[in-house]
Amino acid sequence: MTTWSNWVGNQSFAPRQVVATADEESVQEQVRAAVAGSYRVRTFGTGHSFTPIVETDVLLDTTALRGIVEIDEPARRVRALPKTTIGDFGKPLWERGLALANQGDIDTQSIAGAVATATHGSGRRLPNLSATVTGARLVDGTGEIVVIDASHPDLPALQASIGLMGIMTELEIEVVPAYELAARTDVLPFAEMLETFADDIDRYRHYGFFWMPTDASAELYNLSGAGADDCVLKRYLEVAPGTDPADLPEHHRLGPAFEIYPMVYDPNFHEVEYFLPLDQARAILSEMRQLMFEWLPLSVYPLEIRVVAADEAWISPNYQRENLVVSISGEPGTDYWTYLHACDQLFAEFAGRPHWGKIHFMTASRLAGLFPRYDEFVQTRKRFDPKGVFLNDHTQALFA
Ligand SMILES: Cc1cc2nc3c(=O)[nH]c(=O)nc-3n(C[C@H](O)[C@H](O)[C@H](O)COP(=O)(O)OP(=O)(O)OC[C@H]3O[C@@H](n4cnc5c(N)ncnc54)[C@H](O)[C@@H]3O)c2cc1C
C-alpha cells in the first residue's frame, strides 16, 4: 500500500491508488471515473501544507505537468503548468525583464499548491500569490474543462480555493517589471521594533521579523546575535538594477529579487498562522508577546511576523483587509495544543483568519463570520463540484 506524506510528515494517508496524469485528458478521465465510482479524487503540489488538504481516495500525480508555457512581455503575464515551482519562474522571467511581484520564505512550492492556499510573502503593498492569478484552465467535478479568464465572474472564487473547484491544469499569473532587492537584517529589542514598525512597513518593499521569546530561540533558527525579547528584522528595499552596493552600506545582500527572497528550512517544525487586521498591529503584537512569555518554554520557537496587502479573492485571508500575519511554529510531537488553542482564542478576538496551508482551528460557522463571501464561495464550489469528489473530511467540515 502506498502512503503519501507531506513535507514535514505531520499529514499522511494511504490513497487506494496513485495515478500519474501527464495531460489534461487523463485528469478528465480520472475525475469522471471518480464521479461514476462515487469516490474522491485530488492532487498534490509539493506537500508543503501542514493541514489535511490533500487527503483523498485516488491521488493524481501531476509531476509531468511542470514548466512555463508562455511569457507575454507586453501584457506582463505568464502561463505555467500547475507543478511549476515558484523557483522555476525566477530566471526565465528575469531574462525577459520580468519578475513575480512577491515571494514567500521558500520557493520550492508548486504554483498551483501555493495559489490554492493563498501563499504570501511580506510587504504592505503586496498581495498574496492568489491575487496575481488572472486566469486558469481546470477540470471541474464533472470532468469538464473550464477556462477562466480575468473577466470571468468565478475568478475571485477560484483564486484561492484549496483545490475545491477543480484540478488546475494551467495558470496565468500577472507579473511585474524585474527588480532588485537590497536586503538588510538587524537585531532590535521588541520596543525599538514597535517604534519603527509603522514607518518601516511603508518604506520597505518587504518587511518581516522573527521575535525571540527566549535566548534559545535564536539558536534554534540560526539567528545569531539575538536574545530573549529581541527581533531579527528583515527589511528589503527595492532598488534599480545595477545599483552600486557601496551606496547601501547598511544592506548586506543585493541582487535579483528571486535570489534574495528564498530561505532554506529543515523539516523539523509545524506551523499555525493567522491573519489579523493591520490597523490593530500594536495591540496584537503586545498581547501575543505576553501570551508567549506566559507559556515559556513551550513557545521556544520564534514568532514570525509579516504584512500582506488586501485582495479580492473570496476566501483569501486578505479579502478586502490588509493584515498582520502571525506565525507560530512548534516541534512535531510536542504536546502544545493547549497553548495553540490559547493563541487561537486571542486571534479570534481580533477576527483572525486562517492560512489554509497552516494549522488552524476553524469551523464552518466561524468561517461564515470571518469571510463575507463565504456563502457564495460554498455555492460556487457546489456548482463546480456537484458530487463533492474534491472534498475530504477536513474540507467537507468547512465548506460542504
Ligand atoms: C518550509 C515552509 C515554508 C513556507 N513558507 C510560506 C510562506 O512564506 N508564505 C506562505 O503563505 N506559506 C508558506 N508555506 C506554506 C505553503 O506555501 C503552502 O502550504 C502551499 O500550499 C504549499 O504548496 P505545495 O505545492 O506544497 O502544495 P500542497 O501542500 O501539496 O497542496 C496544497 C493544496 O493545493 C492543492 N493543489 C495542488 N495542486 C493543485 C492543482 N493542480 N489543482 C488544484 N489544486 C491543487 C492540493 O490539493 C492542496 O489542497 C510554507 C510551508 C513550508 C513547509
Q: What percent of the chain has pLDDT over 70?
A: 100
To test the ligand 1 pocket, which listed residue (5, 40, 117, 356) has its Cβ within 8 A of the most ligand atoms?
Answer: 117
pLDDT of residue 50: 96
Query: 47 CB less than 6 Å from ligand 1?
Result: yes
Q: What's the pLDDT score for residue 331?
A: 85
Query: Residue 44 C-alpha to ligand 1 middle, in angstroms?
Result: 9
Q: Who's near 49: CB < 8 A, 6+ residues apart?
A: 6, 11, 113, 117, 356, 357, 358
Task: Compute the average pLDDT of residues 292-317.
Answer: 94
Give me the phi and psi of 174, to 5 degrees please.
-85, 130
Residue 252 lies in a domain: yes
* Any domain includes 82: yes
Q: How many angstroms separate the alpha carbon of residue 246 from the centre of ligand 1?
A: 38
pLDDT of amino acid 145: 98
Could you report the per-residue pLDDT of 66-90, keeping only the tens digit for each? 999 999 999 999 999 999 999 999 9
Mean pLDDT over 89-107 rounds to: 97
With 90 as the cut, is the pLDDT of residue 348 above it?
Answer: yes
Domain that holds residue 98: 68-177
- Look at residue 108 in the predicted model and tell me its pLDDT: 97
Question: The domain that contains 137 carries what CATH number?
Answer: 3.30.465.10
Residue 30 maps to a domain: no
Q: Count CB-CB contacts under 10 A for residue 33.
A: 15
pLDDT class of 251 with cuts at 50, 70, 90 = confident
pLDDT (0 to 100) of residue 254:
92
In the chain, where does DSSP find H-type helix? 24-37, 86-95, 111-116, 155-158, 190-203, 215-220, 257-260, 281-294, 337-349, 364-370, 374-384, 393-399
Q: What is the pLDDT of residues 232-243, one digit of tens each?
A: 999 999 998 788
- Same domain, residue pair 173 and 195: no
Residues 307 and 353 in one domain: yes
For position 236, what pLDDT does the model report?
95
Model confidence at 123: pLDDT above 80: yes
Tell me, yes or no, whether 116 lies in a domain: yes
Which of 151, 177, 203 corresponds to the end of one domain?
177
Instruction: Confirm or reject: Cβ of 7 under 6 Å from ligand 1.
Output: yes
Do 344 and 196 share a structural domain? yes
Interacting residues of 369 by C-beta distance below 8 A, sequence separation 6+: none
Count CA atoms within 13 Å of residue 229 on its CB side.
9
* 84 ligand 1 Cβ < 6 A: no
Q: What is the mean pLDDT of the chain?
A: 96
d(Cα 229, Cα 214) in Å, to the nearest integer? 7
Q: Please check whether residues 172 and 187 belong to one and the same domain.
A: no
Residues 184 and 173 placed together within one structural domain of the fold: no
**pLDDT tier, 297 (very low <50, low <70, confident <90, very high otherwise):** confident
> If you average pLDDT over residues 119-131, what whole number do you get?
98
What's the pLDDT score for residue 250? 84
Classify residue 41 by burial, with Cβ atoms within 10 Å: 0-12, 13-18, 19+: buried
What average pLDDT does the segment 90-105 reach? 97
Rounded to 10 degrees, the C-alpha dihedral 45/49/51/54 comes to 10
**Domain endpoint, select from 153, 177, 201:** 177
Contact between 393 and 13 (Cβ < 8 Å):
no
Mutation to probe ligand 1, out of 109, 168, 306 (largest number of atoms < 8 A from CB): 109
pLDDT confidence of 269, banded at 50, 70, 90? Answer: confident
**Residue 293 sits in the same domain as residue 330:** yes
Task: Inform me whether the pLDDT recorded for 1 exceeds 80.
Answer: no
The answer on 192 and 170 residing in a single domain is: no
- C-alpha 45 – ligand 1 centre gap (Å): 6
Contact 217, 226 (CB under 8 A): yes
Mean pLDDT of 355-366: 98
What pLDDT is recorded for position 82? 98
Contacts for 24 with CB less than 8 Å, ≥ 6 apart:
137, 139, 145, 169
Residue listed under C-alpha cell 507579473: 175
Pairing relationship of beta strands 17-20 and 58-61 according to DSSP bridges? parallel
- Tell me if 99 is assigned to some domain: yes
Cα–Cα separations (whole angstroms), residue 303 to 46, 50, 91, 212, 300: 24, 17, 32, 7, 9
Residue 213 has pLDDT above 80, yes or no: yes
Going by alpha carbons, the residue nearest to atom 52 of ligand 1 is: 48
Structural contact between residues 347 and 274, judged by C-beta atoms closer than 8 angstroms: yes
Q: Which of 4, 49, 102, 234 most suits a substitution to test ligand 1, by most atoms within 8 Å of the C-beta?
A: 49
pLDDT at 304: 97
* Inside any domain, residue 374: no
Lowest mean pLDDT among 1-5, 48-52, 193-197, 245-249: 245-249
Last residue of a domain, one of 133, 158, 177: 177
Asked if residue 192 and residue 154 are part of one domain, the reply reads: no
Helices (H) and strands (E) in the chain, counts: 12, 20
Q: Are residues 100 and 184 in the same domain?
A: no
Least confident interval from 176-180, 222-226, 358-362 = 222-226
Name the grid cell of 22: 501527464
Q: What CATH number does the domain containing 205 carry? A: 3.30.70.2520
**Is the same domain home to 287 and 298?**
yes
Find the 111 Cα to ligand 1 centroid distance in Å.
8
Q: How far apart are CA 95 and CA 93, in angstroms?
A: 5
User: In the structure grid, which three cell numbers stand for residue 18, read together?
Assistant: 496513485
Tell me the average pLDDT across 125-149.
98
In which band, very low, low, confident or very high, does the pLDDT at 8 lie, cut at 50, 70 and 90? very high
Atom of ligand 1 nearest to the CA of 168: 42
Confidence (pLDDT) at 278: 98
Question: What's the confidence (pLDDT) of residue 230?
Answer: 97
Q: What angle do CA 392, 349, 327 make, to 5 degrees?
A: 60
Tell whether 194 and 290 lie within a shared domain.
Answer: yes
Atom of ligand 1 nearest to the CA of 42: 47
Number of structural domains found in the chain: 2
Domain-located, residue 54: no
Is 354 part of any domain? yes
Indicate if ligand 1 lies below 6 Å from the C-beta of 4: no
Residues 344 and 258 in one domain: yes
